[in-house]
A and B are shown apart, each in its own frame.
Chain A
Amino acid sequence: MSDRKAEWPLWEVFVRSRQGLAHKHVGSLHAPDAEMAIQNARDVYTRRQEGQSLWVVRSTDIVASSPDDKGELFDPANDKVYRHPTFYDVPDAVENM
């Protein structure tokens, strides 16, 4: 079974759970092609919460940042409080920030 499974590429799954929200990464799965990946994503990830839209992307097509670059990429953002949304008061009427 594991040999066979290795022949199928891995897909990353993104679900938009409500209108107006962005697609969110929920996990990954194996599928022989894009159409079956969508079907599998529907069965594995949307059967209870009922998403509005699905994206699948071949895992190999995702370009990821290197863990080694963590310092230079992310640390500078951390030491300036005014960069963070929590620095500002958000009115109650604004939803989904």
Chain B
Amino acid sequence: MAETLTMTGEETAPAAAGLSAADRTAYVDYLLHLGDAGLILGHRLSEWCGHGPILEEDIALTNIALDLIGQARMLLTYAGRVEGAGRDEDALAYRRDVTDFRNPLICEQPNGDFAMTVARQFLVSAWAYELFSALERSADPDLAGIAAKSLKEVSYHRRHAGEWLIRLGDGTDESKRRAQDALDDLWIFTDELFEPEDADRPLIDAGLVVDPATLRAPWEAMVDRVLGEATLDKPEAEYPRRGGRRGAHSEYLGYILADLQFLQRAYPDARW
């Protein structure tokens, strides 16, 4: 991340100026939530680089990873500007600990087999699609711009993962079993995607961010359509897991950060 990403060149974001201190903190937290989702899922996908099932899919997964890292860069940079404490994208990506990360838990779950990676990508991309579609109309023009750019990318991610899920589900006995197992394992992490934080309420009322509960119906419609075509069963979340927004992560995030942050921790401000 050597080059600097400039948005409008101002020190702090215009949208932050009218916010109370508490709301500004909540807004930074929300932006970290979006940025960390891209950073952590993008890192997970990057682990496939050189290990894809075929060359074409290896490139596809890496492309999606690069898109997500790009979104993370924009969102973390912007979070730093709203915060106004001088932290840039690198400081936020490399100098925060597990409990400071705000990504949904599903993003940090292991790649597993190809079916697991595809199912995770589909569930998250379908959520991100509805999220960015709504944020495109945010009262904050900076966030609306980031959402508009990201929406094109996640549209493709959703399509790619959805087409794969259909082929795995409606494929061989083994691919169907693996796809169903993946959905069953991941389903407990989906409720979290649609639960607002109390601190978000003033931001929702101000039209800056979206109430995630409103994303659930269109997300379910898309998931139902694809699972129907894939002849897969929709699981039930018996014991939903949550906590990503508050920094209560699964054991996996620490290992990801050890990998992701090692260089900057060992050699602070190293550049090449």
Given contacts A29-B56, A30-B56, contact A36 B63 (CB under 8 A): no
Is B248 in the interface zone, CB < 8 Å from A? no
Q: How many residues of A contact B (CB 8 A)?
A: 16
Q: Which of B59, B163, B167 contacts A43 (CB 8 A)?
A: B59
A39 CA to B160 CA in the complex, in Å?
Answer: 7
Q: How many residues of B contact A (CB 8 A)?
A: 14
A7 to chain B, nearest CB (A): 11
Residues of chain B having any CB pair with chain A under 8 Å: 53-57, 59-60, 63, 156, 159-160, 163-164, 167
A43 to chain B, nearest CB (A): 4
Interface hub of A32, A33, A40, A43 (most chain B Cβ within 10 A): A43
SS class of chain B's interface: helix, strand, loop or mixed?
Answer: helix
8 contacting pairs across A/B (C-beta < 8 A): A1-B53, A1-B54, A31-B56, A32-B167, A35-B163, A40-B59, A40-B60, A43-B59
Binary contact readout A12-45 vs B (1 if CB under 8 angstroms, 0 otherwise): 0000000000000000011111011001101110
Q: Which residues of B contact A31 (CB under 8 A)?
A: 56
Interchain residue pairs A-B with the least CB separation, the first 10: A40-B56, A43-B60, A43-B59, A43-B63, A29-B56, A44-B59, A39-B160, A44-B56, A47-B63, A35-B163
A30 CA to B54 CA in the complex, in Å?
Answer: 9
B59 to chain A, nearest CB (A): 5
B156 to chain A, nearest CB (A): 8
Q: Which residues of A contact B160 (CB under 8 A)?
A: 39
